[in-house]
Amino acid sequence: MATSSAAATRSVGAPRRAAIASLVGTTIEWFDFFIYGLAAALVFGDLFFASVDEHSGRLAAFATLGVAFVARPVGAVIFGHLGDRLGRKSTLIATLGIMGSATGLIGLLPTYETAGVWAPVLLVVLRLLQGLAVGGEWGGAVLMSVEHAPASKVRLYGSAPQMGSPLGLVLATAVMSAVATLPEDQLFTWGWRVPFLAGFILVLVGLAIRLGVEESTQFKEIKSAGATSRLPVREVFAKAKKSLTLCISLQASVNVVFYVISVYFLTYATNSLGLERSTALLIVMIAAVIDLAALPLLAALSDRLGAHRVFLTGALFTSIAAIPFFWLLRGDDVVLTCIVVIVMMIGAHATTYSVVSSLIAEQFDTKVRYSGTALSNALGGLIFSAPTPFIAEALVGKSGTGWWPLAVMTLAAALISLVAILLTPHRSRIEVDVTPSRSPAPTASA
């Protein structure tokens, strides 16, 4: 293993441009993704599953939310292969284009009332496309940041694509909050479509920014040395199974907490706590804004104290706070509920999410890093994110009471992450392997 020598010759502004492009791109991707989650919690049950009762409609809507997570590993394989063979930049341009187009087309879909069963079928198809795109997006965005980053600021730069998640949630929640103020007849006819149609515009903005970013220096070095992997996904499973397992498990705590707050809380707050829809959305948006501010601060702190310590602190906090968090949520005390959600978002999410990206990326060699990082994230999402809103709704049930199963689920996720971080090897830097493969494949095609 040798540290990349090309880093010294790159332009001074390249790391900053790469980080900004990663932030903007993932913000747009997650805006598109969260708009769907918010719509699933608030309106999709009535719009696309009108033939069943309200509870069953919500379950069906949350099930379609999970469809994208099933597609994410497939997207990770496809785009991970392209990212490790052809380059990070071109692959990220493709994922952003697919995501924005799929989101915009959801805004044009007919509902169950006008198209019958074809409405949910088309919804699922477009949700699958969203999942494919996100499966390749996150890993590439993380690599563009950490592979350009100065050695002393890998965690800080690695947090740039992480900030896209709460920022996307803030934007999505703000837009959906504005739409939710419409009279119900307008909300269910045209209002819900507006955030999705914005996807067509946002993707153009993101593409314009990403086109101006340099290719990853580390990738260019292994490509010029003929060290790219012919089948990077196969190499990950053959030589890095332990790293893959640990990186998937690291995400248990952060994923469950985030999807409980960002998606399921809207349903729980309105149906179990009796809060107004607009109030629940405002609480989530406030928590996301504070979470967004905390991410780079905690990432910078981890560059000084160590990423393992910061992550371990967050996982421990989650295990301790799981039961008090749900117990303290009160429909008759909005201020207390808001404070509790904010504290949980910072203590359980920002601490772990700020460093998990760079922790994952550094576990894989450069020639398979895109595939390894993308697969870790996609499989972590499939296992821990996708089922969370569905399981939460099923556990709480029609009665809307009984929060303790949610606390047990959160505690279990925290314990998984605790074990994972204790077993994850410490790395000092993101390194590049420029040893040529035995039988290097032509680099002109995938």
**pLDDT digit string, tens, across residues 401-435:** 567 888 889 999 999 999 999 999 987 556 555 55
Largest CA-CA distance found in the chain, in angstroms, rounded:
67
| Distance from C-alpha of 377 to C-alpha of 383, rounded to nearest angstrom | 10
More confident residue, 62 or 350: 350
Q: Mind listing the pLDDT tens digit for each residue in 301-341?
A: 999 999 999 999 999 999 999 999 989 988 889 999 999 99
The per-residue pLDDT for 17 is: 84
Question: In the numeric block, which tokens belong to residue 377?
Answer: 């994230």
Question: In the numeric block, which tokens belong to residue 439?
Answer: 């039988």
CATH level 3 topology of 14-423: Growth Hormone; Chain: A; (1.20.1250)
pLDDT band of residue 256 (cuts 50, 70, 90) is very high
| Distance from C-alpha of 291 to C-alpha of 17, rounded to nearest angstrom | 23
C-alpha dihedral sign at 204, 131, 420, 218 = negative
More confident residue, 443 or 231: 231
The residue extents of the domains of the chain are: 14-423
Q: Mind listing the pLDDT tens digit for each residue in 197-248?
A: 988 888 888 888 888 788 877 888 888 888 888 899 999 999 999 999 999 9
- Is residue 252 within 8 Å of residue 319, measured between CB atoms? no
Residue 2 dihedral angles phi and psi, to the nearest 5°: -135, 140
pTM: 0.81
Burial of 304 (0-12, 13-18, 19+ CB in 10 A): exposed
pLDDT band of residue 444 (cuts 50, 70, 90) is very low
Whose structure tokens read 């099933």?
70
How many other C-beta atoms can be found within 10 angstroms of the C-beta atom of residue 204? Answer: 12
Q: Mind listing the pLDDT tens digit for each residue in 260-302?
A: 887 788 788 888 888 888 888 889 889 989 999 999 999 999 9
- Is residue 344 within 8 Å of residue 321, measured between CB atoms? yes
C-alpha to C-alpha distances, 11 to 86, 141, 149, 219, nearest whole angstrom: 22, 19, 12, 16
| Distance from C-alpha of 228 to C-alpha of 435, rounded to nearest angstrom | 9
C-alpha to C-alpha distances, 343 to 204, 262, 300, 348, nearest whole angstrom: 36, 14, 20, 8
Cα(first)–Cα(last) distance of the chain, in Å?
25
Whose structure tokens read 């292994």?
222
pLDDT tops 80 at residue 151: yes
| Distance from C-alpha of 218 to C-alpha of 12, rounded to nearest angstrom | 16
Q: What is the mean pLDDT of residues 367-393?
A: 89
- Is residue 266 within 8 Å of residue 41, measured between CB atoms? yes
More confident residue, 44 or 77: 77
The per-residue pLDDT for 183 is: 86
| Distance from C-alpha of 291 to C-alpha of 309, rounded to nearest angstrom | 19
**Which of these ranges, 5-14, 183-192, 198-207, has the smallest mean pLDDT?**
5-14
Q: What is the mean pLDDT of residues 361-384?
A: 92
CA proximity to 103, closest of 172, 45, 54: 172
C-alpha to C-alpha distances, 375 to 184, 185, 335, nearest whole angstrom: 41, 42, 39
Whose structure tokens read 């009762």?
53
pLDDT tops 50 at residue 4: no
The per-residue pLDDT for 429 is: 56
C-alpha to C-alpha distances, 241 to 73, 268, 363, 377, 443, nearest whole angstrom: 15, 38, 11, 14, 26
- Is residue 88 within 8 Å of residue 216, measured between CB atoms? yes
| Distance from C-alpha of 8 to C-alpha of 217, rounded to nearest angstrom | 10
pLDDT tops 70 at residue 360: yes
Whose structure tokens read 């563009």?
144
The fraction of the chain above a pLDDT of 70, given in percent, is 88
- Is residue 139 within 8 Å of residue 357, measured between CB atoms? no
Strand partners, 432: 2
pLDDT tops 80 at residue 51: no
The per-residue pLDDT for 399 is: 53
Whose structure tokens read 């406030």?
286
- Is residue 437 within 8 Å of residue 227, measured between CB atoms? yes
The per-residue pLDDT for 416 is: 97
CA proximity to 35, closest of 152, 154, 194, 189: 194
- Is residue 175 within 8 Å of residue 35, measured between CB atoms? yes
Question: In the numeric block, which tokens belong to residue 388?
Answer: 């969370």
Residue 432 dihedral angles phi and psi, to the nearest 5°: -125, 135
How many other C-beta atoms can be found within 10 angstroms of the C-beta atom of residue 117? Answer: 10
